[in-house]
Amino acid sequence: MKRLMIGNDAIARGAYEAGVTVATAYPGTPSTEIVSTLAQYPGVYGEWAPNEKVAMEVGAGASIGGARTLVAMKHVGVNVAADPLYTFVYTGVNGGLVIVSADDPGMHSSQNEQDNRGYGRFAKLPVIEPSDSQEALDFTRLAYEISEEYDTPVMLRITTRLAHSQTLVEEGKPKQVELKEYKKDAPKYVMLPGFARGRHVEVEKRLEGLKEYSNNTEINRIEWGKRRLGVITSGVCYQYVREVMPDISVLKLGMVNPLPDKLIREFAEGVERVVIVEELEPVIEEQVKSWGIAVEGKEHFTLLGEYSPEYLAERLGGIAQAQGYGLDKEIPPRPPLMCPGCPHRGVFHTLKRMRLKVMGDIGCYTLGALSPLDGMDACVCMGASIGMAMGMEKAQGVDPSKIVAVIGDSTFVHSGITPLIDVVYNQGTSTVVILDNSTTAMTGHQDHPATGLTINKEPAPKLDLEALVKAVGVNNVRVVDPLQLDELRSALEEELQRREPSVIIARRPCALLVKPPLNKKMVIENDLCTGCKLCIRIGCTGIYFIEDEKLAAINPTTCVSCEVCAQVCTFDAIKIVEG
């Protein structure tokens, strides 16, 4: 019986059916569900790794140890894992290894939209790309055959639209796979220069074989239709092309690295005009052009964002779309914002009030950069805040007391520890605020080493953040409640004055994980409210402004009585009513 599955769950199912016994990941939208789902299958060891580099290394060890292994991450996670990945391509595998790269064209939940098909050519590994959930399952199974036959890790590249679309899937029977025998083989697994030179020869030889495979595999297929136009495409774009141009000829690529040169030549000779449809970078186009084949591509299509059926119809002249309704009235935008009761809100409000330069990081709290909180100056990647604060201090020299780094608990464990060591070692004076909401909130509340629970919610040794920070040499460590704004502010003022590193742990569980108190509610005393809007500037859906009456008002359905607005009000107009 067929059932609906998001692409990520289908990949997990495919891995289970392929006999995977080790799965590791760091959570990241749109990849998170792959390993959280896979970890629930019988016989699979699943884990949240502290970061993607560790996940890739655990994966490499598991593969050399003989197990079929899956490693999953979002596109930018591959950058973190790139060091072990590139050289693991040289060693090759023992048990098959698949690394899933979940790219995010359109940046639904990411800081950039890099195209990780590029890793295929750069790191010299095969890349396969499914176009719906059934293919996600089938291609995952196939990837393990390719991995073991060609002795290479395989990248399964997906995009948000595949990861989070549900399509029908026919499940298969799980394969019984024995753990492969491990044999000591230093020239294969120890990448000293002398051995690595030998392995590079193998990598190039293997790529020649993979090119032949790409020309013959049925996941690269020509669907002949009318010959006036032929489209080469892959992934979810294949579905869009078929939606708007059901009659044309299509070369559907399931393997996007290495490309099937002979098949592409055959296709190009069979149609009058070839157009390549690929989101983001012209990865296929540039290669095909370099072979002297006349194709069209990015002269018709943007390098930015996601494509859609209507976009392809507009650019290529497919089935005309109906004219929809338009509303001339301006519709106010609805940006995402911190939840009511979020422990991060008061922190950013305070940082802004103190006019500090805030080096931010990746998580829900990045929303603290948006109006009206406006509490962040820079945010680049996971773990960057602390190093950037250090750099800014060294650049500006004289007045480091205005610079803070702000980083979440999961992000700190991911990659905030080494920059903190840099601050201590090179005698910076940074004040680092660890926003400890005791979960990986943004991606859907996954556990991590400092929560004391495993991926399957079993007890685990809990990383002690205070002890860790002290151990790397930070002498000034304190824990504050981020909902007590006075306490938070005086902690910041004291620590910023110090001429040595300090860490403030602002600890309070994510508001979505605690039940709001039933015995109290917030009310506004209208005769005390001056309409100054200070409370509105905390950007909470629990409080709003009635323009006609020039008064603030509480929204009782969203307010969770965190009391931050009451602390912000300078006229004592917001009261807590018990009972």
Q: Which residues bind other proteins (CB under 8 A)?
A: 2-4, 6, 29-30, 32, 108-109, 132, 161, 164-168, 236, 239-240, 242-244, 246, 308-310, 313, 318-319, 321-327, 329-339, 364, 367, 371-372, 442-444, 533, 536-537, 539, 541, 543-545, 547, 557
Q: Which ranges of 426-539 would DSSP assign to H, the alpha helix?
A: 465-471, 485-497
By beta-carbon proximity to other proteins, the closer residue of 194 and 324 is 324
Q: Give me the least distance between CB of 336 and other proteins, in Å please.
A: 4
Q: Give me the least distance between CB of 422 and other proteins, in Å please.
A: 29
By beta-carbon proximity to other proteins, the closer residue of 234 and 257 is 234
- CA–CA distances in Å: residue 514 to residues 183, 457, 509, 577: 51, 17, 7, 20
Contact (Cβ atoms closer than 8 angstroms) between residue 35 and residue 24? yes
Q: Give me the least distance between CB of 421 and other proteins, in Å please.
A: 30
Q: Give me the least distance between CB of 234 and other proteins, in Å please.
A: 14
How does DSSP classify residue 536?
G
Contact (Cβ atoms closer than 8 angstroms) between residue 66 and residue 19? no
- Locate the DSSP E strands across 188-344: 221-223, 226-234, 248-253, 255-257, 274-277
By beta-carbon proximity to other proteins, the closer residue of 132 and 148 is 132
Maximum CA pair distance of the chain? 82
Distance CA 25, CA 560 (A): 34
Q: Give me the least distance between CB of 135 and other proteins, in Å please.
A: 13
Chain mean position to CA 367: 16
Q: Give me the least distance between CB of 190 and other proteins, in Å please.
A: 40
Q: Give me the least distance between CB of 12 and other proteins, in Å please.
A: 15
Q: Give me the least distance between CB of 34 and other proteins, in Å please.
A: 13
By beta-carbon proximity to other proteins, the closer residue of 335 and 579 is 335
By beta-carbon proximity to other proteins, the closer residue of 162 and 280 is 162
Q: Give me the least distance between CB of 239 and other proteins, in Å please.
A: 4
Distance CA 272, CA 53 (A): 46
Distance CA 405, CA 388 (A): 8
Chain mean position to CA 488: 30
By beta-carbon proximity to other proteins, the closer residue of 332 and 459 is 332
Contact (Cβ atoms closer than 8 angstroms) between residue 371 and residue 536? no
By beta-carbon proximity to other proteins, the closer residue of 294 and 331 is 331
By beta-carbon proximity to other proteins, the closer residue of 240 and 267 is 240
Using alpha carbons only, give the angle 567, 571, 573 rounded to the nearest 5 degrees. Answer: 75
- HSE on the CB side for 92, CA within 13 Å? 24
Using alpha carbons only, give the angle 49, 50, 55 rounded to the nearest 5 degrees. Answer: 40
By beta-carbon proximity to other proteins, the closer residue of 108 and 402 is 108
Distance CA 496, CA 346 (A): 18
